[in-house]
Amino acid sequence: MKFFHLADLHFGKQLGGIPLSEKDGSQEYWCRQCLAAVEAERPDCVLIAGDVFDRSQPGAEARALASWFLTELAGRTKVLMIAGNHDSGENVGYLSGLLKKQGLYAAGRIERALPRVELEDGFGKVVFWLMPYFFPLLVKETLSEENLRTYTEAAAALLGAQEIDEGVRNVLVAHQFVTDGETEPERGGSETSIGGIGQIDAGKAGFGIFDYVALGHIHRPQKVGRDTVRYAGAPLCYHFSEAGETDEGNGRLGILVVELGAKGEAVRLRRIGTAPLHPLRTIRGRLSDILEAERTDPRRNEYVRVLLEDEILPQNARESLEAALAEKGSRIAELQRIFNRSALADTAEKAAQEDKPLAEAFFEYYEEQYPDRPMDEDEQRIALEAAALLEEAGGAPDEAALDRAAQLLAERAGEGGAA
């Protein structure tokens, strides 16, 4: 039995104001690669483990894209999908009785008897259990159980209410924050919790009886404990932190192919690489250096985040950057002022050597940058916050803490004339 495990499509997502669902845009480009992979691989079905849409009330473009993609998919294979925490269960489950006849099985809201889809191959039956996103109160009401408090208890109760034949192969499709005991999955950066999403301990919830657990919610592809409890990962980077400051994040993307042999036999996992239409890249530095470097940088068609480290921001910074990038078909998705990270690190180090409070060192640094403008109360508060942030990070502040502090300082300094 071969299937694709997809999740977190987030149709309708925006990246810094750029709509990813636009005609001929990033999401459509990924969908076409997915359809080509279905043609080539001929999977028995495609699983979509939640967050089909980015919002509970998706816009017209997002609906049109989803409608086209699901229709094309269902024309080639069976499709099993569930609602995630970003979806409206009603939207995803709409017309599900009718769509089932076309091979599109959609589960929007939790029911006492979870929708199940049975498929057969040479090794017998595989039962797919569709468990849309839930929170404990919903399960409590659905099962009329009084004593459910945590997500783990709710999942255990819900799975306990199903009649699962352990003699055949079983696959669970779910959209939750699943942990392996104390070990949490590594987040991508773009997962937001809508209405709160608590942790489910895979072992305690009874995931052990499933031959494969197809998860959605965490956007970075990874296993949770054993190899066969897995987040597929989102098809695109939705946040610059997911792409990193190199191309590494963009290269991680792909379609997860799962093959089940006989019951008890090792599950085979593969990834088909996909290429983003617009790779994400962060450019960091002073404006003049960036413009210089971009003249010879061959990369094209990117969505770019620019972190400007100029102490004094040159005029028309955005316009000159936009023009330089537009020549290569690239667009600015985000533009931020940021204090020079190494200057900030030097200041922190010097303060430590001189045994001076970090906040005081920041005040001095700030005044050096803006000699003609004394710090106001807000700026002093921000400098204090930034200092506290670095002190919290310990003796040797890491890059993330430095970045956050640099951003804090730049936010305020940038007011009136900055990016």
CA 287 to chain centre: 30
Nearer to Mn ion, 184 or 398 (CB): 184
Amino acid identity for residue 31 in this structure: C
How far apart are CB 235 and Mn ion at their closest, in Å? Answer: 11
Span near Mn ion by CB under 5 A; candidates 11-19, 46-54, 73-81, 327-335: 46-54
Name the minimum Å distance from CB 197 to Mn ion.
Answer: 10
Task: For 12, list phi and psi in degrees, rounded to 5.
Answer: 100, 0
Kindly write down the DSSP assignment for every residue of 88-155, as one continuous string: -HHHHHTTHHHHHTTTEEEE-S--SS--EEEEEETTEEEEEEEE----HHHHHHHHT-S---SHHHHH
Please name the residue ranges forming H helices in 258-376: 287-296, 317-326, 341-353, 358-369
We find the least distance from the C-beta atom of residue 295 to Mn ion, in angstroms, to be: 38
Which residues, numbered 7-26, are part of the site for Mn ion (CB under 5 A)?
A: 8
Interaction mask 226-265, Mn ion, x per CB under 5 A = ----------------------------------------
Asked whether position 87 contacts Mn ion by CB under 5 A, the answer is: no
Q: Which residue lies nearer to Mn ion by CB, 51 or 302?
A: 51
Is there binding between residue 379 and Mn ion (CB under 5 A)? no
The conformation of residue 379, written as its DSSP 8-state character, comes to H
Beta carbon of residue 218, minimum distance to Mn ion (angstroms, whole number)? 8
**Choices 1-9, 108-116, 314-322, 371-379 (CB under 5 A): range interacting with Mn ion:** 1-9
Helix and strand numbers (H, E) in the chain are: 14, 19
Maximum CA extent, the chain: 79
Helix axes 358-369, 341-353, angle to 10 degrees: 130
Of 8 and 211, which CB lies nearer to Mn ion in the complex structure? 8
Stretch that binds Mn ion, among 43-51, 53-61, 88-96, 326-334 (CB under 5 A): 43-51
Ramachandran region of residue 302, left (φ > 0), alpha (ψ -120 to 50) or beta? beta
CB of 93 to Mn ion, least distance (A): 18
Binding of Mn ion at residue 54 (CB under 5 A)? no
- The reply on whether position 51 binds Mn ion by CB under 5 A is yes
Q: Minimum CB separation from Mn ion for residue 293, in Å? A: 34
- Residue among 7 and 405 whose Cβ is closer to Mn ion: 7
Residues forming a β-bridge with 200: 178
For Mn ion, give the closer residue by CB, 66 or 383: 66
**Residue 8 C-beta: closest distance to Mn ion, Å:** 4
- Burial-class residue 117 by CB neighbours within 10 Å (0-12, 13-18, 19+): buried
CA torsion sign for 12, 16, 22, 25 is negative
Residue range at the interface with Mn ion (CB under 5 A); choices 45-53, 69-77, 137-145, 150-158: 45-53
> Any bridge partners for residue 283, and if so which?
306
Nearer to Mn ion, 219 or 305 (CB): 219
* Residue whose C-beta lies closest to Mn ion: 51
Among the residue ranges 20-28, 51-59, 91-99, 205-213, the one whose residues contact Mn ion (CB under 5 A) = 51-59
Report the residue number, 132 or 397, with the smaller CB distance to Mn ion.
Answer: 132
Place of tokens 């054993």: 226
The conformation of residue 282, written as its DSSP 8-state character, comes to: E
The DSSP result for 37-105, as a single string, is HHHHH--SEEEEES-SBSSSS--HHHHHHHHHHHHHHHTTSEEEEE--TTS-HHHHHTTHHHHHTTTEE
Residues 158-217 that bind Mn ion (CB under 5 A): none
Q: Considering only residues 277-336, where is the footprint of Mn ion by CB under 5 A?
A: none
Q: How many residues bind Mn ion (CB under 5 A)?
A: 2
Which region among 48-56, 105-113, 282-290, 321-329 touches Mn ion (by CB under 5 A)?
48-56
User: Which CB atom, from 217 or from 412, has the smaller least distance to Mn ion?
Assistant: 217
Q: Are strands 254-259 and 268-273 parallel, antiparallel or unpaired?
A: antiparallel
Instruction: Answer yes or no whether residue 28 interacts with Mn ion by CB under 5 A.
Output: no
Shortest Å, Cβ 223 to Mn ion: 18
C-beta of 51: minimal distance to Mn ion in Å?
4
Nearest by Cα to 309 from 229, 414, 192, 190: 414
Q: In 3D, which of 305, 171, 306, 314 has the Cα closest to residue 238?
A: 305
To the nearest whole angstrom, how small is the minimum distance from the Cβ of residue 85 to Mn ion?
7
Binding span for Mn ion by CB under 5 A among 49-57, 73-81, 132-140, 248-256: 49-57
Q: Which residues bind Mn ion (CB under 5 A)?
A: 8, 51
